[in-house]
Structures are given as C-alpha cells and as structure tokens.
Structure 1
C-alpha cells in the first residue's frame, strides 16, 4: 500500500464517522477539503488505479452529502425522522463504514504496487533490450513462413559516469507481466495495468562499469507460458555482482512477447497444455537453438556493438546458463548441445530427452521445491492427462533428478531444496500479492536462492575460489536444505 493511498482511505473512514456521529458541519467541510487535497496529490504523485475505485466513488458521494445542507439551506425543513428510521440509518452507516474499511484496505494490500529489493552487489545495474532475427530458421505465422524473431533483455554491471546525472530507474515491465498473466489466468491485461507505477532497480543504457575489463555471461530461460521478465529481481541481483545476464523470450512458447514495432505475439496454446512427456523434446530443442543463436549474436555485438555500449565488455569464453521450469529443462539441453557453456542450473524443471538418458559432464545444480512439480488431482483436471498418467510422469522425473544428482552427471552436482513455497515462488510472481506468497518471506527465499546461484557461478563461470557454502551440506533449516556431491 502506497503512502497517500493509505492516508486517503483513512480520511474517508473519518469522513464516514463524521456523518455517523453527527459531527459539526465545519468538521465535515474541513474533512472534505483534506480529502480533496490528498486525492489530488495521490493522482499526481502515485497515479490512480482500479483498486482505489471505491474511494474515488465515495469521495463524490460524501462531497454531495457534505454540501447538501448548504445547497438546501433556504428550502423548508423536512419533517423529522422517526426513531426507528434513525436507527436503521445509523446501523446502515456503521455497516457501510466497516465494509468500506475492510474492502479498500484489503484491495490495496492484496494487490500492492510493489518494489523489488535493492541488489546487494557493488555495481549499479544497467539494462537494455534487443530484437534479434534468426534468418536461418523459419516459423509459421498467419499462413506464411517468417524468420524466427526473439526479444532478449540484458542486465549488466553499470556505472554512472556523470556525478550530476539524474538517475532514472526503469519502469516495471508491466506490459510483459500483464500479457503473461492474461495467458496464464485468462484475466484481461488491463487488470494489471497498475503495475506501471512500480520502479525497477535498473538504469537503461548506462555505461558498462570500467572496474572490470570484461564480464562473464549468464543466460536465462523462462518457464512455459512465461516471460523473460519473470525473474527481474534475480537478474538485477546477479548483474550487480559482475555478470552480463541475458534473459530470452522464447517466442510463441512465452506467454506474451512484444516487439519494438508494436507487434504482439501471444502463446496460442492452452495455459495448461504443458507436455507431461519426458520424450517430448521438440520445444526444448527449439529453445536450445534460441540460446545458441543468442550467444552467436552476443559474440558479434562484443566484437562491434552498433550502439557502442558492449564492445569488448563481454567475456565470451565464460558463459553459464540457468532457467526456471521448462527453462530449467532448456538449461540442461543447452549444456548437451553447446560446448561454449561451462555449467548450468535447473530451477524446478523436469529433465526431458535426450538429456534424461545422457551423461552430462559439466557442473550442475538442481534448485527444487520439496514437492517437485507435483500438482493435485483437482489441478490435473485442467491438463491434458489423467491422474494416472501424471503420477507416472511425476515418479519418472523425480527418479531422473535423483539419478542425475547422484551419478548421471559426471561433474560436481548440487541440490538446493526448498521446503516452503511452490513452483512460482522461484519467480517474482509472488510479489503480485501476499495471497500468492502464502505467508512466505519472498525476499528471504530469493536471498537464499541467489546466494547459492552466485556461489555456483562464481566458481564454475568466473573461476573463483570455492565458496564454503557449496562444501557444507545444510539440512537443519526451517525452509530449505542443501546437498553437495563433489565428483572432481
């Protein structure tokens, strides 16, 4: 809840009480004036949003009731009300005050204009987006074949070179989030338009920091039907510690993608049509090709950036990959397909073929929820499989994760398992509402996850000395435990 939202609601509650307890008309007029001032400040500083709609409407009605006696002061006095009628009006006013108080505060608290936690690294975070076209691959679009187009977002260690520069942090990517929520929940994207009032911790197109000659690269792959913006705060955190972090929109597999010319691409599949089949490798292979293509383009940009921003700043010889859900499946596939990647992290994703039957030979980390992609029989009804088919699939992916952690992956392997949270707690989506966080401290959850991710990539991508947290198994904790399997 934003400051002036809370103040405005509180003023209206007091205003309602002024009618309930028949305060002097001067008090009502003063309250009306105060409410007007705060509503103007709220509109000008914070911006209006639909969650405050009841307050806006109430302001109009209470203004009318406040001014009504002055408008009618020359008219004849109406007949006195009966005692019973007065009681009914008083009870109605009390009920309305309670309903308004609960619903108004409830709406703005349940759907807040949130702010991401500040990155903890030593660098400012720069950010830019790029539109890439892969002429070597084509895909169907409105009955014709077109080259594959991809949007990427790049976060990087930045530096404000002008001491007098007025730092303007980027607005929250509400369009990508709104479009994704529309795909997942079938809710009009206008429902989430209020997210435009949030700010990020990223500064668009600032200079790359000169504190390092060049910086290693981490590539991120989003979940099925999601967006490259799904883990925005995590991208900022990693970039603040000295990485180029490149998040890819896998067009058509993402829930929503918007290109610079205004074209929008929505995922045409059903939000619950995810393939519960480990042999189904088609989409994950397409994603793997996306990743390799992006690295090809980054290599070219590093040699000669048309914008003059990244030339010579990326360490193309040090690259890691990580992803969430289907993006975690993609991370494993990329390690199998592309030798340029040194290590990878799978955040709560299944292993698909051919990875499932392969022996990866690069360091790998599993970050999982304790229930590991389990869904209830009620949720299964919305999918394209039966409960029996799902349980068979779930048993298989669990066995595969155990096997690859223990022996299937021939290099160092780690497993971070969270007891609290669910599949989406690994993303930024729980920031949308406390109802989605389910009482979990999302900041603390992400802090632990990012700490292990940084330790892993610092060792296997940057080549730094092993962080002690990777050597120590931790199981006696209230919401996560960590296992380590050092093989080299």
Structure 2
C-alpha cells in the first residue's frame, strides 16, 4: 500500500528512483528491487498511443455535506481531481507531473534526501493544460481512477493519458490526507494524516478508507454529471458509460464503489486487497483482477482475491503479470528503468477492458493468453 523509493544516480546529478513496493495486504513484506542508473535525460512518460490529443485540468472540489474522514474538525471534505480528456489540436503548455510541494512531500515521506523535487515534478507528460475538449455531446465514456495509499493521483498519469487519447474522459482523484502531500488552493499542502491510522490497525484502516473513497468517487461523479457540472466539457460525457479502475487501496475501493453506486458499470482492481468483502449476494457487473506475480495467483498470499472472486457473478477475468511487483501498475517503474513495458501492459489491458464493457467492442486480448504479452497469465 505504501511506496518505497530508492536512490538512482543520474550522470553528474542526483535523480529520482520511484519504485513502489509495499505489498497490497498488511501481511506481506516490502519488496525493494535495485535498479540500474538511468541516462542523463529528463524523466518522461511514454507518448499515448491513441489518435487524439490530450488535455488536462485540475479541479478543487469541496463536499460540504460530510466532514473529512481523517480530520473530523474539518467540516467539509476537500478533494483534488485531475481530468484528462480528448482535446482539440493546438499549442499549449504541457502539464506538470505534480507540484514541487507534492514532490518534496513524497521524497520526505520516503526519507530520501539529496534528490531535487523538480526532478520528480518536472517529469515530461503529454497532456496540454486547459486545452479545449473535443467530442460530440453525450458520447465520451468516463473512467474514474483511484491511486494507491500514500500515492498521489499523478501516479496513474500514464494510464490516464492513454485512455484520454483513445476517447475517454478520465477523472484521477487525490483522496486528501491519504497521500504524502496534496497541493490545495492558497498554497496549502495536506499531508498524510491517515498514515497514523494505517500503522495502528491496517485492516480496520482499510475498511474505513474504502468506504471513504466510495463517498469521494460518488461526490466527484455528482459534480461532473449533475445539473450544474463543475467542468465545461461535462456535456460530452455519456452518463450511461462509466467505469472505474484503482491501484492497491484504489483497487480495493473499486468493487465497493460499484456495489454502492449503480452508475459505475465496470471495474478493475490492480493489485489491491479487498478490505471490504463483496457480500454473499455478489457483484454482477463486469470486473477484472490484475495482480503482480505470485502474490495474487490463486492460492497466493492475498486470500481476499479467492474469497471475492467466488462472489463475482458477472463477466470476470483474473490476470497476473509475471515478474511484476506492486508498483507495476503505476508510472513509477518507468521512472527507474529504461523499459516502459510494465506501463505498456497495464495500458493495453485496462483499455481493452474499458472498450469491451463501456463501448461494447470485442477485445480478443481479454479472451486468453497473448503472444504479444506472454508475461500475462490468465487464471480463470
């Protein structure tokens, strides 16, 4: 659930190694791998493969109907949301990967010194800030993304840009007080208040966090799809085609969100334990499990996957990525290794799943093992 960062030397300067690795269940131990030095060049995400330019905008949303779950004295729940979407062609300012303040908090949270925050915050992205949305009214599917615990919404930027380039609106949610640092308006920085509760009792914390995240996602959907939407491009969204994917704690929150919110038609759990079990009545909508290595194979250390798999009564797939680790479904391995293979694999299978269940497009990639991605195992 938490991420571990290692030192990576860039020729002549300090650089960032972002390799996440705390296992997705409290019983698993951290698994930190050593990486080779990267070249002396700017860190960059791979370009999206879709045909459409990508725009992005950040939103500050305030739910005045409930207090913050981690700071009860705050009578309103604040969220930061990034939207990625198909955009019209045109020049513009490329979006920053994250703020300098968020990067500094991330580095401090991992107790990594001597690494300039701008190395992280300045990683090259492919979305243009504030670009004009493109598309016809009511035609674009929407996908909500929920990151892992201690991780910011930016950790899923590579996946978000890919989906947006393929014609999706993507809402990446920072669940405030659950990451090492979230930049808020007026120069404020919200820290990880929830970290104390997670250390005290991981399973009790997980239950509380999953339920809080479900409420966060519901509020974001309300603000995007309501009569007075918070985003000028909201009219392009097809309200009947909404999906969700999450990493780690975000993946654990996806099934519960679907059970509580019928607007979410399909979901993916990327390497997260099911802290709140699927009830005996089951989950009848499409769901996919994507796990790392042996931990999430049938009979592996995370017993919650086998338990909840049996309660999924709709279309479902159980996949694992051989050689992968807990960070494989985020941007972070890309920032420490020369290969973008892990992010490429995640993009391909998440996009195929969303295309199949939000657009009714046949996707052979989901039918069984692929020669293109031999590291992906189909279990059931």
Partners of 1:132 and 1:452 lie apart in 2 by 30
Partner of 2:135: 210
List per-residue Cα deviations over 1:330-385 (Å, max 9, x = no partner).
Answer: 001101111111110000001122426551111100000123379xxxxxxxxxxx
Q: Which runs of 5+ in 2 are unaligned?
A: 1-9, 16-34
Go from structure 1 to structure 2 and tell me whether the alpha carbon gap of 1:273 and 1:191 turns closer, same or farther (over 3 Å shift). farther
Q: 1:281 aligns with which of 194, 199, 207?
A: 207
**TM-fit CA distance, 1:170:** 1.7
Across the aligned residues of Structure 1 and Structure 2, the Cα RMSD in angstroms comes to 3.2
TM-score using structure 2 length: 0.82
Partners of 1:416 and 1:355 lie apart in 2 by 19
Q: 1:254 aligns with which of 170, 176, 179?
A: 179
**TM-fit CA distance, 1:213:** 5.0
Partner of 1:377: none
Partner of 2:120: 195
Partner of 1:381: none
**TM-fit CA distance, 1:403:** 4.1
**TM-fit CA distance, 1:189:** 8.8
Partner of 2:293: 370
Superposed counterparts of 1:42-57, under 5 Å: none
Are the aligned partners of 1:177 and 1:227 in contact in 2 as well (CA < 8 Å)?
no
Partner of 1:61: none
Are the aligned partners of 2:98 and 2:122 in contact in 1 as well (CA < 8 Å)?
no
Partners of 1:201 and 1:226 lie apart in 2 by 20
Go from structure 1 to structure 2 and tell me whether the alpha carbon gap of 1:275 and 1:328 turns closer, same or farther (over 3 Å shift). farther
Partner of 1:81: none
**TM-fit CA distance, 1:469:** 1.6
State the SS of the aligned residue for 2:125.
Answer: strand
Partner of 2:272: 349
**TM-fit CA distance, 1:422:** 0.7
Partner of 2:150: 225
Greater share of helix: 1
- Which deviates further from its counterpart, 336-345 or 309-318? 309-318
Go from structure 1 to structure 2 and tell me whether the alpha carbon gap of 1:419 and 1:195 turns closer, same or farther (over 3 Å shift). same
**TM-fit CA distance, 1:126:** 0.7
Superposed counterparts of 1:443-462, under 5 Å: 443-462=340-359
Equivalent pairs counted in the alignment come to 350
Partners of 2:205 and 2:115 lie apart in 1 by 38
Partner of 1:89: none
- The structure with the largest alpha-carbon Rg is 1
Q: 1:134 aligns with which of 63, 85, 89?
A: 63
**TM-fit CA distance, 1:139:** 2.9
Go from structure 1 to structure 2 and tell me whether the alpha carbon gap of 1:366 and 1:155 turns closer, same or farther (over 3 Å shift). same
**Bigger relative CO (Cα 8 Å, ≥ 6 apart):** 2
TM-score using structure 1 length: 0.65
State the SS of the aligned residue for 1:281.
Answer: helix
Partner of 2:368: 472
